Structure 1
Amino acid sequence: MTTTRFAPSPTGYIHVGNLRTALMNFLIAKKAGGTFILRIDDTDPERSKQEYVDAIQEDLEWLGITWDRMERQSERLERYEQAAEELREKARFYECFETPTELDLKRKKQLNMGKPPVYDRAALDLSEAEKEALRAERGNGHWRFKLIQERIEWTDGILGDLSIDAASVSDPVLIRGDGQFLYTLASVCDDVDFGVTHVVRGSDHVTNTATQIQIIEALGGAVPEFAHHSLLTGPQGEALSKRLGTLSLRDLRAAGVEPMALVSLMARLGSSDPVELRENMDEVADGFDIGHFGSAPTKFDEQDLYPLTARILHEQPFAAMAADVKAAGVPDDLAEQFWEVTRENIVTRKDLATWWDLFANGAEPEIDEEDRAFIAEAMALLPEGPFDGETWGTWTKAVKEATGRKGRGLFMPLRKALTGQSNGPDMSAVMPLLQVVKARG
């Protein structure tokens, strides 16, 4: 059974970088008919908040990413202690007492000597008496996993064959001095216990993966298939990390982005496959292949979401938009007519209210100075309502005959005078809505 997981920390809102990881893991499981786990990494009690847990679920559901089960690491602390004890018994776990300042000095010394800044394992030489003295002086130490210093090799689902020399990596800290379990131990223990078969995450985790493979093996677990996707950049290749706070899913939702526009883009971004707008998650999963993604940094431009959003909305039947049209304030008897007139002239659902305000309350006329006399003469020729589908053609013909204007010089100023805009729906279809609205006072 294919089993994947998405493991956010509830310390903030999900952004597009998180989404890429969540979506890839979800699609792998969905395509294989497997299990997708939502795992909340909330071992940090100070930073984890329930409001973010709720927000994570809400954002994923908005996109159509559903989970088969949900786990919380805060409820598994006893299991992590069991795993830690198992590693102690196997002599793969040792207590260290260096302060952050001491570790920093060690790293600087190694760098000055041209050596990699790797922990020197000095704590392994401590006697029990020395450890007791350090505990009395500094409190409990932090615990490191003892790596077997050999090459760690695996075939990555995106990056291909990878090999990292464990001797070039510090033994990872798995438990802090205050007893808090860190990500690596909790994550590995969960992956082993939950039978996770595939893990997709960012390329900044490659070194973590190497050490986690050894921890998994030390705990007797099966090593999952790993794949590391490229990191997102801005449209010009600039680092996106500083902007991720403004690219949360809830911000994009508030801006009017349609969920399938976001999913369709993110499911193909960075791959050799073209972005294709899909109608549902089944279609997205059918066309998804993790092996089609590359290792190069992937450019993300949020503006690319709006043409896709517009295409989705333009194709919607009235029944699918009726609630939104009603919410914009359109009377029921005009709702379907209004939608047919405006459907190809909106980018997001929020634009519906803008169009209805124009029809209901009129627009501030946009009249160029050279057109003022022309518009005054044209408005005098505008027939009394009610307007209908023939009014625009009849009126513009009369204005043409009276003023001699034609083509763009005739139609554009009249459109601007009535709608305040230089483009929009066919005016023959707009006029009846303006007429009915005026009649309603």
Structure 2
Amino acid sequence: MYRFAPSPAGDLHIGNLQVALFNYICAKQAGEQMIVRIEDGDRARNIEGKDQEILEMLELFGISYSQLYYQSNNFKYHLQFASTLLDTKKAFICFCPHENEASACDGTCEHLSSEEVLNIPKPFIIRMKKSEHTCDSFVIMRTDKYPTYTFACACDDMLQGVTTIIREVEQEHNAPKEEHIRKSIGYEQKMHYTHVPDIQTPKDESDVKWLLDQGFMPEAIVNYLVLLSSHSPAEIFTLEEAISWFDITAISKSSAHFDIDKLRFINREHIKRIADMELSKRIGYACENIGKLAKLYTEEVSTTYEIKQKVDALFAKKEFYAEFENESKLLQELIQKAPYFDEFDAFKAYLLEASGLKEDSFLKPLRFWLSGADHSPELALLYPLIKNYLKEIVR
């Protein structure tokens, strides 16, 4: 059993998403289930609605799961486990000042008798007793009777039958504590850990929602995040293709540097591969020819946001071309009254003859009317895709 355990205290960032992808891929490869557990234990930091946003993100990226859990629903079990650890003398009540689960204890409280504990009218926490190896007497229950993050994770993974944990390297130091907790409770199931190196990135670029808003497609982000930490037989691939060759044991052990220019290249390649109608829908239209038109713009730009700006400009109401205002007016009238031409050469020949214009005084205004810009894909490539919309475009 694999699990992805995001916190609803902030936006999903690319490190979280990479971990989710690795868990999903490995679960598929192993023929096992993957669960999602919302780590909502820190009530003060939870943001309303953020859990649903994270789940919607997972769906958008094609990451499915078998069960959804909320950590807060297990609080009663956390308290029961803590009581068991107290009863078996593997944990103790502590009155020492504390700030977090790693706060120091001078050892005095560990040796208090039951009567002494009852006679101290102060808030207390519960600590694990030191393990034989590396763990200090860390906090497992706070004064408010809620579990610390490490204790809750250790208990939840045990309760939910998790056997493999793939997560970010920043949580690696928690593994010995979690093992100590489960062993002290009497749980013997072996846990397999993989800690994924972090991704160094500017703040904005680490936010998955920001990347999507910028026009980076989910397929491309998946491709990049898998490629970033592993060797692949191809540079451009789908999530399903990655499942056939990805090897979690071969991922890089070093931090990765996020390269948005590389992501732009990968995004451009996925735009070229996507079905024309699907691409059209993603930029707000519903026509295969608009999808084909969008792909022409990959010679200039690399995101669906940038492409949408190009296509929207093409359909937008235009002012007359300032450098050739009279010529622009003339061409507008001719195009609006022109018969239908299937081929661009015939359309161009008709306008040349009817207008009497030549060179820049003809080509610049024509390009402007047909593309909404001074620079565009070749008009001979553009025309077949927009010829049915000319009256709408030239207005």
Alpha-carbon shift at residue 355 of structure 1 (Å): 3.8
Deviation per residue, 1:131-151 (Å, 9 max, x gap)? 3343x1x22x1111112232x
Q: Describe the shift of the 1:30–1:364 C-alpha distance in structure 2 as closer, same or farther (beyond 3 A).
A: farther
Partner of 1:439: 391
Residue identity opposite 2:237 in structure 1: R
Partner of 1:60: 58
User: What SS does the aligned partner of 2:181 have?
Assistant: helix
Partner of 1:177: 143
- Structure-to-structure mapping, 1:125-164, within 5 angstroms: 125-134=111-120, 136=121, 138-139=122-123, 141-150=124-133
Task: Report if aligned partners of 1:386, 1:436 keep a CA contact under 8 Å in 2.
Answer: no
- Structure-to-structure mapping, 1:3-14, within 5 angstroms: 3-14=1-12
User: What SS does the aligned partner of 1:228 have?
Assistant: strand
User: What SS does the aligned partner of 1:144 have?
Assistant: strand
Count of residue pairs the alignment pairs up = 382
Partner of 2:294: 342
Distance 1:24 1:394 in 2: 57
- Report whether the alignment pairs 1:229 with 2:188: no
Residue identity opposite 1:340 in structure 2: K
Deviation per residue, 1:232-289 (Å, 9 max, x gap)? 102xxxxx5xx26x6333332232221111111112212244773323x332222211
Distance 1:209 1:81 in 2: 21
- Structure-to-structure mapping, 1:399-414, within 5 angstroms: none
Residue identity opposite 1:343 in structure 2: K
Distance 1:253 1:402 in 2: 45
Task: Report if aligned partners of 1:341, 1:426 keep a CA contact under 8 Å in 2.
Answer: no
Task: Report if aligned partners of 1:146, 1:171 keep a CA contact under 8 Å in 2.
Answer: yes
Task: Report if aligned partners of 1:41, 1:73 keep a CA contact under 8 Å in 2.
Answer: yes
User: What SS does the aligned partner of 1:5 have?
Assistant: strand
Distance 1:269 1:377 in 2: 52
Partner of 1:426: 378
Alpha-carbon shift at residue 211 of structure 1 (Å): 1.7
Partner of 1:306: 264
- Structure-to-structure mapping, 1:32-51, within 5 angstroms: 32-51=30-49
Q: 1:30 aligns with which of 28, 31, 50?
A: 28
User: What SS does the aligned partner of 2:215 have?
Assistant: coil
Distance 1:282 1:52 in 2: 28
Unaligned runs of at least 5 residues, structure 1: 108-116, 151-165, 235-239
Partner of 2:174: 208
Distance 2:85 2:138 in 1: 13
Residue identity opposite 1:210 in structure 2: P
Task: Report if aligned partners of 1:95, 1:144 keep a CA contact under 8 Å in 2.
Answer: yes
Partner of 2:273: 315
Partner of 1:197: 163
User: What SS does the aligned partner of 1:61 have?
Assistant: helix
Distance 1:56 1:319 in 2: 27
Distance 2:159 2:391 in 1: 69
Distance 1:118 1:46 in 2: 24
Q: 2:315 aligns with which of 360, 366, 370?
A: 360
Task: Report if aligned partners of 1:360, 1:434 keep a CA contact under 8 Å in 2.
Answer: no
User: What SS does the aligned partner of 1:76 have?
Assistant: helix
Distance 1:62 1:337 in 2: 25
Task: Report if aligned partners of 2:352, 2:362 keep a CA contact under 8 Å in 1.
Answer: no
Alpha-carbon shift at residue 320 of structure 1 (Å): 3.1
Q: 2:71 aligns with which of 70, 73, 81?
A: 73
Partner of 1:124: 110
Q: Describe the shift of the 1:11–1:87 C-alpha distance in structure 2 as closer, same or farther (beyond 3 A).
A: same
Residue identity opposite 1:231 in structure 2: D
Distance 1:345 1:74 in 2: 49
Give the TM-score normalised by structure 2. 0.82
Q: Describe the shift of the 1:128–1:340 C-alpha distance in structure 2 as closer, same or farther (beyond 3 A).
A: closer
Deviation per residue, 1:350-392 (Å, 9 max, x gap)? 455434433334656777xxxx58x978997997534741157
Distance 1:62 1:434 in 2: 31
- Structure-to-structure mapping, 1:97-112, within 5 angstroms: 97-100=95-98
RMSD (Å), alpha carbons: 3.6
Partner of 1:253: 212
Partner of 2:16: 18
Deviation per residue, 1:59-98 (Å, 9 max, x gap)? 1111111111112222222221221122223321011112
Alpha-carbon shift at residue 437 of structure 1 (Å): 4.2
Residue identity opposite 1:248 in structure 2: D
Deviation per residue, 1:164-215 (Å, 9 max, x gap)? xx1xx53221100111111111211122222212111122222211222222
User: What SS does the aligned partner of 2:11 have?
Assistant: coil
